[in-house]
Structure 1
Amino acid sequence: MRWFLLGGLLVWPMATLSATGPLAPTNVVVILADDLGINDLACYGRREHHTPHLDALAKSGAMFTAAYAACPVCSPTRAAILTSRSPARLRITTFLPGRADAASQKLLHPIIQQRLPLNEITIGDHFKRVNYATGYFGKWHLGGAGFTARQQGFDTVVDAPGNPPNLAETGGKSERTLTRAAEDFIEKHQKKPFFLMLAHHNPHIPLAANPEAIAKAADTFNHTYAAMIDELDQSVGRIVAKLDAMHLRSRTIIVFTSDNGGLHVPELRDDAPTHNSPYRAGKGFLYEGGIRVPLLISFPMKIKAGEVFAQPVCSMDLFPTITQLCGHRFQAPSDGLDCSPLFRGGSIRDRSLFWHLPHYTNQGSRPSGAVRTGDWKLIEHYDDSSIELFNLATDPSESRNLAASEPARASAMRTQLQEWKQSVKAQEPTRNPDFDEAKYRPLYVETDVSKWKPAKTAKETSQPLAAWRKAIDDAVKKPAK
């Protein structure tokens, strides 16, 4: 039994759920990609990638062009999607289990939660308590035994290796295994409303795909990555086809998104998987390439085909938006916003979006925070207190720092970020007594990979970064178990 505090009162979670009327038998399918960038789908402009099923999904409903992940790395965004709570509030601000401190880093990482707390109300809890069948298929990355999806509201849970041995049977990242399990779940529960979350390992490193698919992608930036995107697209096509075959498509909400931006630097044995052009940097960074992600929502009963929305939205918005589309009133504590008025021709209130990443990452980023208000975005780098200010309307690639020419705006937004961090009790990094400047500069000053531009191919992009890659790996090794 779970309880939580609301206004100082201990409340049974059922009290947070009410309905605007009789519950309609609306099904929900959420498909989550792993490290998929904003520039990775044809419908978002990446014409070299073959994504006909995702393109069709975009045309059938709504496509968001300014959707943001709650964090530029995986575990925090997954927690935010499930709970509608900010990663900073949850104290899950980097991937689990996190990385060790190092002399090359000015600041020490804060101690984070190592699992999603069981007292958080998840989207799985919500749908289970309103008598939906609930299923979670794929990557969890929010805790081990006793803290899995089974303890967070999901009755049917299936995972498969992220790096399976039999690619022809499973797909390079178990896409085929997970998709078959999801199809079986849909067929089994076709007579009862269901909530299904399909969290693929694709296209996370290490990159893997069937050789014949790689051969077909010979003219792409990264052949293996492009083949993985094709496999991911086929999975989406199969899920939509199963819904059609069961005559469930018209009353099923389908959400497709990613946990963070695409990886734009080499990592492990792989060349740079992708680039997020025209956006700067990628996974691990608070620049647009690290946090701006694809978001498609299709629901024929309530969302017009071909809608495109430029309003900024974020991971925490999915839970309240989905429940409202289902006819449920969402009243649990939330850092998100119900965006369903957009689908009725309405608007959502103006607000600022915030990020807090008090960690160094193995993609080369430094501890930082960010706020977007309107078209303006401020990034504060915690280890040297420097700030950057960008006008995303005129400079979406974040190449012109306007902090010096807009001092009043920069100061106000910096204060706004600080006040928000205080409001969510964000953990701050602390000074490292063993800091070594000579180890720091080559990694974070002399080589700024956030500004790295893609060459024609992944290999040409990655070769000049080989020495930096080895040095950063040595500096941010995972803690010993």
Structure 2
Amino acid sequence: MIILADDVGQGDIPLYFNSSAVQMPNIERLASQGLVFHDMHSTPLCAPSRYMLLSGNYQHRGRNIKGTWSLTESRNQFKKNQKSLAHALKDAGYKTGMFGKYHLGSKIPPGGVIDRDKLLSSEFHDWNLPLLEHDIGFDFTYVTMEGIQRPPYAFFRNGYLDIHGGSVKDWSVGEFTMEGGTSKIIVDGEGSESWDSTIYNQIVVNETEAFLDNHLKFNANDPFFSYVALGAIHLPHSPPTHFMDGSAVAGEYPVEQLDMLHEMDLTVGKIIDILETRGLAQDTIIIFTSDNGGLRPPTGSDLSHEPNGNLRGRKGSLYEGGTRVPFILRHDGYVPAGESRDKLLSLSDVFATLCEIVGIEIPKKAAKDSVSFAKYLKSESNAAGLRSSYASWKIAGKNFHSAALRRGNYKLIQNHHDSTIEFYDLSNNLSEKNDLSTDMTHESLIFEMTSELIELGPCAENKVGDFDITLDGGEIETVNCTWFASQRKERCGIIKKSKTRKLCPRVCGRFRKFCDTLN
């Protein structure tokens, strides 16, 4: 069971920096029953992090270098033949379900013309058909394409549009009195006439509960995997008047951002209660985490609340506040209760870790950037084999903005937008205030980390000098990357494209146009 919060930073959770103004008894109880991780990392933004978690890959291994966010005329973020964590578990006999925010891209049926102004009512779209390019390994799905923040404001059940028997409504930006409270729309667009952003998380809980009950009724002897992607606490902040158990939500704190954190804790508590009351919790790995760092501190309140604690930056930033996320794991009888872990980890590592715990092989060509921390769960002394570094990228439009590399407690940021370097020693400077990039004692390490960051990224360097290639006819020719560049379209495909991309990635690679902006 993975519970993924939206835009929740470490500082939003009381047990990290003691910087949260919101009481979270349910999440703190979960932590007391398992492990709290202090150096877990995502990407700076929603969609690429979701791909990273489910694929075990860096974001640029997917179809779109920036991640795939919404309904399109193309396919989802997973490239052809890439298997997700859900695929791996499903192939091993697990029943798999996904509920909540999808944010990985799907194709509008029947394909072809896309009417972005009328996603649900256009004559070019046939909603009697299911979404195309939607299958990423889940047996059951009940999802919205972009959570609560963008149209279409409707759920899709197993790929089919579900508007609860109502009709399509063209929603305008504004606030609307609905059954659950004051629903909000922040981007114009079509959706179900019954759309109510205040009850989004409660709908997700109900669907998760139904999936588990159905599993116990028909597949009780099989294992299950449930991925629950909450709407909280992404904008718009529209807390319900009451949660499903009757607890008051709206107005419990001075600002709605904090009310949403309160509702998130109630949601986590309800999901765990569903597992416990059905006797499922003891044998279930329960993970709570977030897709990126937190938001700005709330305004209009006398309460002090820092969504990212002492960390610099926030969502969208490559500083620690943008990529360091809360991560709590409970697995009764497998991991010790009430302990913490401090080593560098990535959401992409969840793939390999879960596969190792449940005893299945990682599918071929899958999870290339996933490093298991299964042994580290049992004891903090079992740190051998963990990742030695972690890279992340920020992309602005069609260009690189910046890239960052963590190696242990050292942090390098390469700013492509202004050709500057930043370098921090987090062991003495977790808030990244003291830039050591001009300290010559670190010159060699900065060079090594810069080279590693380039190699890990989508714009690896071309092979230097001449090399031999075997043409389709069997003859051998000595060339260099300039040879490919002179007739790029024809020559890049003259040998296996995969080999060409490794030799001359900036000439023949998938992202060559993007990488040209770095030169």
TM range (shorter): 0.7 to 0.9
Matches within 5 A, 1:199-218: 199-211=229-241, 213-218=249-254
Counterpart secondary structure, 2:227: strand
**C-alpha deviations, 1:399-458, integer Å up to 9, x for none?**
11100013222222112212222279684454499xxxxxxxxxxxxxxxxxxxxxxxxx
Q: CA deviation at 1:303?
A: 0.8
Q: Hey, what does 2:202 align to over in structure 1? A: 176
Which of 101, 109, 119 is the equivalent residue of 1:139? Answer: 101
Q: Is contact 2:99–2:208 with CA below 8 Å preserved after alignment?
A: yes
Q: Hey, what does 2:19 align to over in structure 1? A: 46
Matches of 2:45 and 2:305 in 1, distance apart?
15
Q: Hey, what does 2:374 align to over in structure 1? A: 340
Tell me the matched-pair count. Answer: 380
Q: Hey, what does 1:359 align to over in structure 2? A: 396
Matches within 5 A, 1:306-321: 306-321=338-353
Q: Is contact 2:11–2:19 with CA below 8 Å preserved after alignment?
A: yes
Q: Hey, what does 1:387 align to over in structure 2? A: 421
Matches within 5 A, 1:70-219: 71-94=43-66, 96=68, 115-145=77-107, 150-159=134-143, 162=148, 166=178, 168=180, 172=198, 174-190=200-216, 191=220, 192-211=222-241, 213-218=249-254
Q: Hey, what does 2:128 align to over in structure 1? A: none
Identity, % of aligned pairs? 27
Amino acid of the structure 2 residue aligned with 1:371: L
Amino acid of the structure 2 residue aligned with 1:206: P
Q: Is contact 2:69–2:103 with CA below 8 Å preserved after alignment?
A: no
**C-alpha deviations, 1:231-282, integer Å up to 9, x for none?**
1111111111111111111100011111111122899xxxx99631311111
**Cα 1:154/1:359, change in 2 over 3 Å:** same
Amino acid of the structure 1 residue aligned with 2:148: G
Q: CA deviation at 1:226?
A: 1.1
Which of 376, 387, 391 is the equivalent residue of 2:410? Answer: 376
Q: CA deviation at 1:159?
A: 2.1
**C-alpha deviations, 1:315-363, integer Å up to 9, x for none?**
11011111211122335432111100112322242511111223259xx
**C-alpha deviations, 1:130-162, integer Å up to 9, x for none?**
121110001111112377785111111112562
Amino acid of the structure 2 residue aligned with 1:208: S
Q: Hey, what does 1:19 align to over in structure 2? A: none
Matches of 1:51 and 1:266 in 2, distance apart?
18
Q: Is contact 2:60–2:66 with CA below 8 Å preserved after alignment?
A: no
Matches within 5 A, 1:252-267: 252-264=284-296
Matches within 5 A, 1:396-411: 396-405=430-439, 406-411=442-447
Q: Is contact 2:315–2:323 with CA below 8 Å preserved after alignment?
A: yes
Counterpart secondary structure, 1:63: strand
Q: CA deviation at 1:291?
A: 0.2
Matches of 1:375 and 1:261 in 2, distance apart?
19
Matches of 1:48 and 1:149 in 2, distance apart?
42
Matches of 1:229 and 1:156 in 2, distance apart?
27
Q: Hey, what does 1:414 align to over in structure 2? A: 450
Q: Is contact 1:92–1:113 with CA below 8 Å preserved after alignment?
A: no
Bigger relative contact order (CA 8 A; separation at least 6): 1
**Cα 1:375/1:148, change in 2 over 3 Å:** farther
Q: Is contact 2:352–2:362 with CA below 8 Å preserved after alignment?
A: yes
Amino acid of the structure 2 residue aligned with 1:180: N
**C-alpha deviations, 1:174-222, integer Å up to 9, x for none?**
000100110111122131311100011110111111355232212xxxx
Q: Tell whether 2:35 aligns with 1:59.
A: no
Q: Is contact 1:31–1:257 with CA below 8 Å preserved after alignment?
A: yes
Q: Is contact 1:339–1:348 with CA below 8 Å preserved after alignment?
A: no
Matches of 2:327 and 2:297 in 1, distance apart?
23
Q: Is contact 1:124–1:195 with CA below 8 Å preserved after alignment?
A: yes
Q: Runs of 5+ in structure 1 lacking a partner? A: 1-28, 99-111, 434-481
Q: Is contact 1:225–1:273 with CA below 8 Å preserved after alignment?
A: no
Q: Based on CA coordinates, which of the two structures has the bigger radius of gyration?
A: 2
Q: Is contact 2:41–2:323 with CA below 8 Å preserved after alignment?
A: yes
Which of 234, 240, 247 is the equivalent residue of 2:279? Answer: 247
Counterpart secondary structure, 2:97: strand
Q: Is contact 2:76–2:133 with CA below 8 Å preserved after alignment?
A: no
**Cα 1:366/1:35, change in 2 over 3 Å:** farther
Q: Is contact 2:100–2:231 with CA below 8 Å preserved after alignment?
A: yes
Q: Hey, what does 2:314 align to over in structure 1? A: 282
Q: Hey, what does 1:12 align to over in structure 2? A: none
Matches of 2:306 and 2:67 in 1, distance apart?
20
Q: Hey, what does 1:104 align to over in structure 2? A: none
Matches of 1:387 and 1:121 in 2, distance apart?
36
Matches of 1:296 and 1:52 in 2, distance apart?
14
Q: Runs of 5+ in structure 2 lacking a partner? A: 109-130, 154-175, 182-195, 242-247, 461-501
**Cα 1:47/1:411, change in 2 over 3 Å:** same
Amino acid of the structure 1 residue aligned with 2:294: G
Q: Is contact 1:282–1:290 with CA below 8 Å preserved after alignment?
A: yes
